Chains A and B, each alone.
Chain A
Amino acid sequence: MAEEKKLFKVTIDNITIEVEPGTSILNAARKIGGDVVPPAMCYYSKLKDSGGKCRTCLVRVAAGSTADPRPMPKLVASCRTNVMDGMIVENITSPAVQEARKGVVEFLLINHPLDCPICDQAGECHLQDLSYEHGAEGTRYEFNRRTFKKHDLGPYIQLHMTRCILCYRCVFTADQVTNKRVHGVLDRGDHSEIATYIEKNLNNDFIGNVIDVCPVGALTDKTFRFKNRVWFTKPVDAHRNCDKCCGEVQLWMRGDEVFRVTARKDVYGEVKDNSKGGPGWICNECRFEKKNASDWVIEGLSDISRHSVISQGKYPGLVKPKETVVEVMNGHSPKLMMNIHSVSEVNKPEIELSKIAGPAHSSDFNSNNA
């Protein structure tokens, strides 16, 4: 007879659940789901040693355990604090937690360029979601935002250091998913940066996964850069026979055109497990080289949360709305105001965004600034 495992009882925001010993508070909360799940910007369940850094997942432990029911003196990082039997945790029920979290969001944003309008991550950015849900409306920061020297990471991966929140996920990914890490965190404090030290391409196989783990637009797919807004593309699940990875991906399409290939993500934005078990990391070839619909067997539309802006591109068979512009413009046809990529070149790719403090303005793109 298998011995019955002792489970720990933990109460989070008045909801009690039983979990296995060794479960973190965050993962226990994810088992409950919904509002009691603390936001996590650096923890990534598929990456060993991740978490503890961003401090967005702070919670209050009102009682440590049945054996020692004293509260913990400080707020703790729920992603790296394990539950004890009889532990009582407060997340959304604690004003102190809400206050501290608001502070963390503010800290994460003071040096963020807020260049969402020209950022490829917009629409699937965890920092955007976090700010809407937990941030304040305005900023109290009145100084120039941080800028960095430009680092070129090669043909696949685009780095915008100004957007980085130093979650270290990409560092763990390179350590744990590729055969060799060639980038890391240089320098320290508010001048820390992700870089390769000696200019080097990031092209080890599987390195493309850093794009998927990056919670913000600091690491994006160069082969997709400025090509489209994610919410105009339609995510579908697809697969191919690949001898390097599981070959199970998500294609971001418009019509028959494959704009981007990524791993499949779960509700927390983490790479899903593949059908054979284990994280569904994908290889560079599947991600960067297979941009024809014919390369793939399409399984169907991906499941995207109804709350995501991306879900607008998901529904099939919609009736195309009637063109009304001509009608309301007294018979004038619509004028192409702006095409964000190469055609008009208004969004000059040669302008290095990491050198612009704060949001980019039209003046940054004036020709005399090129």
Chain B
Amino acid sequence: MSKKLLLEKAHVENIRLYDVYRREGGYRSVEKALKTMSPDQVTEEVKKSGLRGRGGAGFPAGMKWSFLAKPEGVPRYLVCNADESEPGTFKDRYLMEFIPHLLIEGLIVSSFALGSSRTYIYIRGEYAWIVDILEQAIAEAKNNGWLGKNILGTGFNCEIYVQRGAGAYICGEETALLESLEGKRGNPRLKPPFPAVKGLYGCPTVVNNVETLAAVVPIINLGGDEYAKIGVGRSTGTKLISACGNINKPGVYEIDMTISVEEFIYSDEYCGGIKNGKRLKACIPGGSSVPIVPANLLLKTAKGETRYMNYESLSDGGFATGTMMGSGGFIVLDEDQCVVKNTYTLARFYRHESCGQCSPCREGTGWMEKILWNIENGKGKMSDIDLLWDIQRKIEGNTICPLGDAAAWPVAAAIRHFRDEFEWHVLNPDKCLTENYGLRHYADPIHVPVA
């Protein structure tokens, strides 16, 4: 049983309500931070904890906080990114829905550390009912003196506002989010300047993911050093993984990043194995943007070592043979799934969600979708596979924001590892409409050259 820091109390009855949450030890971290620590000390603890951003990029949170510019007389903002729209990722939703006070508590401590008196939660528009849950939690916190003016008599003022997005994945990108929060079209900004210098309304701003900010609570309660002892290497603490696809027990799991991928998929504590006794074919372990890997490279690295559920191990081998932790959206594909169809679905998503500002992403995503549709429907040509490769290569790295990369990577990874499945579609234009390519060699042990 791995250690739980975030969801430990998530199933205590009525934990959504303030009284129960408080009874279970809630808001201790606010007392500790506001009464016994300075803002810089809080930041220092977060630095020591090694906490990495849980929104996808894995950037060390403490370091991000220490970059925040602090010019005299200019307000600073903390913005919580609850836009969670990456296909496969639904962990923030779970946390906010079941234990909303944990996020509010984390936000108060983080706002204190950063000096933000007006803190925003920008939430995905489709999570309409969670807005109510959060606003109720905020009202309860305020009624009990955790928000508002002069909190705990320390002179620190803080309000938290919830703002709903209007249904655009791109508004999860932090600068598009800020534009949208300002009431503008959600186009990502050009960087530099970075939000730490010029963010919301031109003021220094920190944008962090829901899970990142909730993790500040156990960090302050335990101390940064203690928190850092959980996990392994630079993957400290616990991580929420939302698991879905062809598994027996889809859901949100809190893991401490020491378990292997194999254990995560097959143990009854987590995914409970592949559904209907099927065999594992492939997996997208970190949300739709990260590279898909075949079963053999998922469970073992190219060096033949066990792959673990943490930042370093999942990315072992780089894009050639590895993938990424991303935002923790773990999508499992069994032997009956078609990688071409899966890639088409993702391409369609990115085409639809591109903001359209820069030409490679606006035009390239649509082009890839159309070619993939052809291949999937038995209308593809051999040359289309190389063309796809060339298009994704010309998008990647040449755009304003990482959505372009996120659209390119799944296509690149699918061709890199499953090229023969694409070719099979081209060579069997009729058969591919009624049959699947199947598992083939994708789970075969990988030959590891002996040194």
Contacts and interface: CB of A to CB of B under 8 A. Distances in A.
Interface of A: 51-56, 58, 74-75, 77, 80, 99-100, 103-104, 106-108, 110-111, 140-141, 143, 165-166, 168, 184-185, 187-192
A192 B367 contact: no
B398 interface: yes
B374 to A, nearest CB: 9
B95 to A, nearest CB: 28
A34 to B, nearest CB: 25
29 contacts: A51-B190, A52-B358, A52-B400, A53-B358, A55-B359, A55-B398, A58-B398, A74-B397, A75-B398, A103-B360, A104-B359, A104-B360, A104-B394, A106-B394, A107-B363, A107-B364, A108-B359, A108-B363, A168-B357, A184-B185, A188-B353, A188-B356, A189-B351, A189-B355, A189-B366, A190-B351, A190-B354, A191-B356, A192-B355
Contacts of B353: 188-189
B229 interface: no
A72 to B, nearest CB: 11
A53 B363 CA distance: 12
Contacts of B400: 52-53, 77
B150 to A, nearest CB: 40
Nearest to A77: B190
A158 B354 CA distance: 27
Interface string B111-125: 000000000000000
Nearest to A56: B359
Interface majority SS (helix, strand, loop, mixed), chain B:
helix
A286 B170 CA distance: 42
Interface residues of B, number: 27
Contacts of B362: 107, 166, 189-190, 192
Contacts of A55: 358-360, 398-399
B190 A110 contact: no
A75 B359 contact: no
Interface string B336-372: 0000000000000001111111111011111100100
A188 B359 contact: no
A111 B367 CA distance: 10
B387 interface: yes
Contacts of B170: 188
B190 A166 contact: no
Contacts of B356: 166, 185, 187-192
Contacts of B394: 99-100, 103-104, 106-107
Contacts of A77: 190, 400
Residue among A54, A106, A165, A185 facing the most chain B CB atoms (10 A cut-off)? A106
A216 B351 CA distance: 24
Interface of B: 168, 170, 185, 190, 351-360, 362-367, 370, 387, 394, 397-400
A189 B358 contact: no
A100 B398 contact: yes
Contacts of B190: 51-52, 77, 80
Contacts of A103: 360, 394, 398
B354 A188 contact: yes
Contacts of B355: 188-189, 192
Contacts of B399: 55
Contacts of A166: 356-357, 359, 362
B376 to A, nearest CB: 15
A185 B354 CA distance: 14
A189 B367 contact: no
A110 B363 contact: yes
A256 to B, nearest CB: 43
Given A53-B358, A54-B358, A104-B359, A189 B352 contact: yes
A51 B306 CA distance: 47
A52 B394 CA distance: 16
B359 A165 contact: yes
Contact of B366 (A53, A58, A190): A190
Contacts of B168: 188
Nearest to A185: B185
Contacts of A58: 398
A107 B360 contact: yes
The 10 A-B residue pairs with the shortest CB-CB distance in the complex, in nearest-first order: A103-B394, A192-B356, A189-B354, A107-B363, A190-B366, A52-B190, A189-B356, A74-B397, A107-B359, A143-B370
A190 B363 CA distance: 6
Contacts of A54: 358-359
Contacts of A51: 190
A193 to B, nearest CB: 9
Nearest to A141: B367
Nearest to B369: A190
B349 to A, nearest CB: 11
A190 to B, nearest CB: 4
Contacts of A53: 357-359, 400
A164 to B, nearest CB: 11
Contacts of A140: 387
A165 B353 CA distance: 18
Contacts of B360: 55, 103-104, 107
Given A52-B190, A100-B394, A103-B398, 13 more contacts: A104-B394, A107-B362, A107-B367, A107-B394, A111-B363, A141-B367, A166-B357, A166-B359, A188-B356, A189-B354, A190-B366, A192-B355, A192-B356
